[in-house]
Structure 1
Amino acid sequence: MGCRRRASASELLRVVVQRSEGCQNRLVPDPQRRLSGRGAHVHHSSNCLDQAVRKRAFARALRIEGAVDVAAVRALVESESAERPTPAHEAGRDRMKTTR
């Protein structure tokens, strides 16, 4: 979502919105893909998550208005980043090498 790179569903993290009593919408990670409601997908990387937040992609994808709290998703992504190797699209390995 944030980086706009395609990936299989198993490589992406599904998130859903949980509406609270206040005006703040809270994103909840759904790694098991079982929560009801409209979902959005993001790579398991803080870079992709940051881009999605900056572009306000969650609000558009989930069709919600107002601010979005991504603290729960950020906590999961950051805890996983220590366990997962860096994806190829972040490491720059997927770019075509040119020779002259």
Structure 2
Amino acid sequence: MNIGSQRDAAVVRTCVGCRRRASASQLLRVVVQRSEGSQNRLVPDPQRRLSGRGAHVHHDTNCLDQAVRKRAFTRALRIEGTVDVAAVRALVESESAERPTPAHEAGMDRMKTTR
């Protein structure tokens, strides 16, 4: 029995693109790699091991596009200036070609909050 996978299944995060909640294992963690120039670079962290503040996004180009358009990464990661999302986009696009339609787009989102 792998206790780490049970713990990850219980952890719920919010996608910065679509703002829907999902388990951490269904989202891609993204961290910022700071550069001396004017542009910071976003780095995908699929293993969730890199240090620093992270933001989460679905493995979907629509969610990534929404996050970029809303400047959600700069807010979530508390950075200023522009960000380079090329590395994250490359990973998401390669994964979206392999994955079926995400549950949140297919209308099968089960992670609803009750208040």
Fold-level similarity (TM above 0.5) = yes
Could you say which structure has the greater relative contact order, defined with CA pairs below 8 angstroms and 6 or more residues apart?
Answer: 1
User: How far apart, CA to CA, are the structure 1 residues paired with 2:64 and 2:86?
Assistant: 11
Change (3 A) 1:97 1:4: closer
User: How far apart, CA to CA, are the structure 2 residues paired with 1:14 and 1:84?
Assistant: 17
User: How far apart, CA to CA, are the structure 2 residues paired with 1:97 and 1:65?
Assistant: 32
2:88 aligns with one of 63, 67, 73 = 73
Count of aligned residue pairs for this structure pair: 100
Matches for 1:75-94 after TM superposition, within 5 Å: 75-94=90-109
Q: Deviations over 1:25-64 (max 9, x none)?
A: 0000000011010000000000000000000000000000
User: How far apart, CA to CA, are the structure 2 residues paired with 1:45 and 1:95?
Assistant: 18
Q: Secondary structure at the match of 1:82?
A: helix
TM-score of the two chains, using structure 2 as the length reference? 0.79
Q: Is the 8 A contact 2:31 2:53 kept in 1?
A: yes
User: How far apart, CA to CA, are the structure 2 residues paired with 1:23 and 1:4?
Assistant: 28
Answer yes or no: is 1:50 the counterpart of 2:65: yes
Change (3 A) 1:66 1:90: same
Q: Deviations over 1:8-39 (max 9, x none)?
A: 00000000000112110000000001101000
Change (3 A) 1:2 1:97: closer
Shift of 1:86: 0.6
User: How far apart, CA to CA, are the structure 2 residues paired with 1:36 and 1:10?
Assistant: 18
Identity of aligned residues (%): 92
Q: Deviations over 1:74-97 (max 9, x none)?
A: 000000011111112223455999
Q: CA RMSD in A?
A: 4.2
Q: Which runs of 5+ in 2 are unaligned?
A: 1-15
TM-score of the two chains, using structure 1 as the length reference? 0.90
